[in-house]
Chain A
Amino acid sequence: MTGEKQVLIVDRAEGSFSGVMEELDQLGFRVVWVTSFAAALDFVNVSQRLSLVVASAAAADDGGQEFLAQLKAVRPTLPVIWGAKAGPSAKPSSGLSPDSLIPEPFRADALRSAVSALLAEHFYPRLIADAIKSAALEGLGTLGQFRVEGDSFLTANQSAFSDLAAIISFSGDASGHLMVSMNYEHARALYRQFLPSVRSVPIDRLEDLVGELCNRILGRINAFFARHGLSIQQSTPLFIRAAGSTMRYAGRRPSFCVELARDEMGISLEYYLADYDNAKLRAEATGKVIELGEVLYF
């Protein structure tokens, strides 16, 4: 795993960033605050872990274009979020543009959304993100044509529960957990599809169904890691019925969330990767995996 990621905030005063620093901290970033563009450029030149620059509208107005030009000259791929004042002058009129403009005062959800869009790859490289999405669709494969809706997004380490949720933790060369959740109505519809002959389905069976789907999806995600030689052990599901409640868990990395949809049905998937053996993952995929539909005889 790479070291802690850093976010550089440029603002003359801390005011615009009340609450934002905490949000970035929860998303797993170390926040560094400077009060001038000169100090910001100094930091950019020495920091190898800098992932993002966020500048307030007040700072951006005062030499922002020049700073942006110098920044992009030394770190062309480093994303920049600009605070935008309300009104017609919110967007820079000419020259370079930041990668994202969000209104000030910053709202946590707007900032999280912008950071997710710009930095998802830092936490969940495309290889892993694609594997999670493919695994989710494979795990639900016998239940029809689901699709990933709204692509994917990051969320800080605080999960919001639906009616039914199942969590399975895993450990080994990669560790973390997968949570799958859905509401009663959708769980009943899926159960009827699985077992049409069962007329009345008690809640504990619906819960068991969610656990089994979680188990299957995590199995497919772990198959991706196994192809790269990572050995992962997964536990048995834990079940939670606490609609409207939230759960906080240890860890400073965000979770990777995917909404799966089919017709009117929705399933939420939240994958939290606490740690993994990055060197093994980057190596050539040579691990043996038993494919779906294959019966391996010994």
Chain B
Amino acid sequence: MTWSILVVDDSETSRSLLRTTLVAKGARVIEAENGKQGLLRARTDTVDLIFSDIHMPVMDGLQMIRELRMLREYEKTPIFVLTSDASGIRAAEGKNAGATGWIVKPVNPEVLWKAVEKALFGIPVQQGIIVPTALGSSSSGQK
């Protein structure tokens, strides 16, 4: 089974680091450079989990999350903010926007992957095709 993870970050370096970590774990990675592009990718592709930076040109990450949460298919999709901004005030804004969680860069890849496992474990995969019992180890269908 392949998980589709959307990575939204204006830094190519940051996206590459995430892509390397996630692909090594068997995920399919879709990338976007800003919130507007992230919205477009989410609408045209099937995404199980999203990592998004917040400080980005064109459209910031929190605005993208607000707009995604208005779409029926992304009402419950895990969306993690992955940012260098550690402010509790900003994290509260993230919560209000509809984010699932908040992670501060630089982050250990294993910490990141544990967050993926925890978020996806037991949560119905996009479009309700698969309900995993453990990430990557058990599935009831094929995406």
Contact = CB atoms under 8 A, between A and B. Distances in A.
A236 B101 contact: no
A219 interface: yes
Interface stretch (A62-70, A83-91, A104-112, A203-211): A203-211
Contacts of B104: 219, 223, 290-292, 294
Interface residues of B, number: 36
Contacts of A287: 87-89
A293 B111 contact: yes
Nearest to A298: B95
A205 B106 CA distance: 18
Contacts of A211: 11, 13
Given A139-B106, A234-B55, A289 B101 contact: no
Nearest to A296: B102
A231 interface: yes
Contacts of B83: 219
> By CB atoms of chain A within 10 A, which of B12, B17, B108, B118 has the most?
B12
A294 B86 CA distance: 10
A197 interface: yes
Q: Could you tell me the dominant secondary structure of chain B's interface residues?
A: mixed
B20 A226 contact: no
Contacts of A197: 20
B99 interface: yes
Interface in A176-224: 191, 194-195, 197-198, 205, 208-209, 211-212, 215-216, 218-220, 222-223
What interface size band does chain A fall in?
35 or more
B16 interface: yes
A295 B106 contact: no
A195 B87 contact: no
Interface of A: 138-139, 141-142, 191, 194-195, 197-198, 205, 208-209, 211-212, 215-216, 218-220, 222-223, 226, 231-232, 234-236, 287-298
27 contacts: A142-B108, A194-B13, A194-B17, A215-B84, A216-B84, A216-B105, A219-B85, A219-B104, A219-B105, A223-B87, A231-B87, A234-B85, A236-B10, A288-B88, A288-B89, A290-B88, A290-B103, A292-B106, A292-B107, A293-B108, A295-B80, A295-B103, A295-B114, A295-B118, A296-B91, A296-B103, A298-B102
